[in-house]
Amino acid sequence: MRQSLMPLTDDRQHIKIRGRRYTAPPLTSTCSVVCQSYSEDNNTGGKKLKNDRLANTTSFITALVAFAERRVIKMKVLITGTSRGIGLACAKKYIEMGHEVIGLDISTSDFIHANYTHIIADITKNLPDISDIEILINNAGIQEGGNEIDVNLKGTINVTEKYGIQKKIRSIVFMASSSASNGAEFPLYAASKGGVVTYMKNVALRIAPFQATSNSISAGGVITPLNQHILDDENLYKKCLNETLLNKWAKDYEIADLTYYLTNINKSITGQDILIDNGEQLKSNFIW
């Protein structure tokens, strides 16, 4: 008997049994997924399963349940700043991987999915009660305007103290910035992100007793609406790319992939700031 679990494409899982492909409902219960496939095989195939085949199928189902349950453990994920850019890419990534996502943003969202809840909230103000968050992604941030310390640093601390410091937490990721380590960009922005990296380490110490990790991602240029004015100016964009070693900026989904790695695959990296900048900080001319 040949069987395979197809990769997840959206919230539905495709299961192939004896060359026939079944689409199962979202991963609320692996058992119901498998049982539905089994009954479809029985009912729509028009063939009656013989007793020995039934026994084989039952043991196959048991193995499949064990495999599928090991493969996806649904987690409760809270992400800030999900209306657009990196936060939206992260929301889509965790949904694609079968998790429940709650997004907090001051703006509305066009993203609709059965496993996604969008809450309009300002991270600097009183926050809604949400219990048992397992993964927290502190992404919301602003680049200029004078409130960078309040939003990027104090807002992030506000969110983390409310949802992150509790025994259900498994992992926290903070969107810092390359400017946290080189001091470049706008003064308040750089200072706020430097504060985020230090606070991330403080959190790593405090959630370690729960076997949970805390890390930050420090991106250089990322293609998001935040940088639209640069992307729209060919000469300016070219100059920015020329500052990097690889002559490019990262895509939003690359940051989402790295975030997912840190929260769901990583078990041993904690208290670290990960630079993803296309070699911008490394680029230097050797003069002899």
Q: Under the criterion CB under 6 A, does residue 215 sit at the interface with ligand NAD?
A: no
Q: Under the criterion CB under 6 A, does residue 140 sit at the interface with ligand NAD?
A: yes
For ligand NAD, which residue of 33, 38, 76, 85 counts as binding (CB under 6 A)?
Answer: 85
Q: Under the criterion CB under 6 A, does residue 87 sit at the interface with ligand NAD?
A: yes
Q: For 106-237, where are the E strands, in sequence order?
A: 116-120, 135-138, 171-175, 213-219, 222-223
Strands 135-138 and 250-251: unpaired
Stretch that binds ligand NAD, among 56-64, 199-207, 214-222, 238-246 (CB under 6 A): 214-222
How is residue 143 written in tokens? 């680049």
For ligand NAD, which residue of 79, 86, 136, 190 counts as binding (CB under 6 A)?
Answer: 86
Which helix H or strand E contains 39, and what residues bound it?
A: helix 30-44
- Tell me whether residue 68 or residue 172 sits nearer to ligand NAD (CB atom): 172
Q: Under the criterion CB under 6 A, does residue 139 sit at the interface with ligand NAD?
A: yes
Residue 64 sits at the vertex; the CA angle it makes with 62 and 70, to the nearest 5 degrees, is: 105
Which helix H or strand E contains 244, and what residues bound it?
A: none
- CA dist 5 and 8 (Å) reads 9
Footprint (CB under 6 A) of ligand NAD, residues 39-78: none
The answer to whether 59 touches 67, Cβ cutoff 8 Å, is no
Q: Under the criterion CB under 6 A, does residue 275 sit at the interface with ligand NAD?
A: no
- Tell me whether residue 24 or residue 172 sits nearer to ligand NAD (CB atom): 172
Strands 20-24 and 171-175: unpaired
For ligand NAD, which residue of 226, 231, 241, 269 counts as binding (CB under 6 A)?
Answer: 226
How far is CA 285 from each of CA 112, 243, 245, rounded to the nearest angstrom?
A: 48, 11, 11
Count of residues interacting with ligand NAD (CB under 6 A): 29
Beta-bridge partner residues of 116: 101
Footprint (CB under 6 A) of ligand NAD, residues 92-131: 104-107, 122-124
Q: Which residues bind ligand NAD (CB under 6 A)?
A: 80-81, 83-87, 104-107, 122-124, 139-142, 151, 155, 175, 177, 219, 221-222, 224-227
